[in-house]
Amino acid sequence: MKLLGLIGGMSWESSAEYYRLINQGVRDRAGPSASARCLLWSFDFSEVEALQMAGDWDGATALLVDAARRLEAAGCDALVICTNTMHKLADAVQAAVAIPLLHIADPAARQAQALGCTRVGLMGTAFTMEQAFYRERLAAAGLEVIVPDAADRAEAHRIIYEELIAGIISEASRASYRAIAERLAAQGAGAIILGCTEIGLLLRDGDCSVPLLDTTALHAAAAVDHVLAS
């Protein structure tokens, strides 16, 4: 089994889900006593959040590159960045190491394609919804991407940073997210990509009239495929 490097703590709420899902996936496929060989580099997210809000992406890149190099030096065979937003820095992280970085958007794109979708909705932080790095990755896979309107983007972002990263699960926020997802479906989205690793703490498939693609679960499953591949 390959050794997986997890770059997490952004936030730890979703990193804990990664750890659970990856180990559960390995156990399901390799036997009841099996668990994943992995190393977790967990950031103090308050430091990363401050860089995000200041627009200091060079400073954030330096942090993630350092973590990636440390995990590679420790013997990891592949890397997973346990957050959608910080995939803004994925190319720089990949360029800094010789081991593969498993990109979070790729399994989401594959799942959308498997469902026959050509148009998908994207929910996440304002960075993920409004900047090009994530949408372009999906577009390269042949998907048309639509995002919520400005008011819905602001509310989705607020809920992530004020509630989900703090482990707060609110029924009012669940209702808000359901409504945002339905508005994207009404615009023709055949599936909604939950493009923040905390959204799966709030929404589940079945909460919308179209499939919800949980990037945390899909990314974790792709990591299991990689570490168990011969």
Question: Per-residue pLDDT tens for 87-129?
Answer: 999 999 999 999 999 999 999 999 999 999 999 999 999 999 9
Q: What percentage of the chain reaches a pLDDT higher than 90?
A: 98
Q: Which of 76, 82, 83, 216 is catalytic?
A: 83
Reported confidence tier of residue 230, pLDDT bands at 50, 70, 90: confident
pTM assigned to the model: 0.96
Give yes or no: 216 in active site.
no
Q: Which of 85, 196, 197, 215 is catalytic?
A: 196
DSSP state of 120: E
d(CA 221, CA 108): 11
Q: What's the average model confidence in pLDDT over 200-219? A: 95
Mark residue 167 as left, alpha or beta (left: phi above 0; alpha: psi -120 to 50; beta: remaining): left
d(CA 107, CA 10): 20
Domains of the chain: 4-103+218-228 (3.40.50.1860), 105-214 (3.40.50.1860)
Dump pLDDT digits (tens) for 33-91.
999 999 999 999 999 999 999 999 999 999 999 999 999 999 999 999 999 999 999 99
User: Do residues 67 and 61 lie in contact, with contact meaning Cβ atoms separated by under 8 Å?
Assistant: no
d(CA 226, CA 114): 19
Dump pLDDT digits (tens) for 121-155.
999 999 999 999 999 999 999 999 999 999 999 99
Give yes or no: 196 in active site.
yes
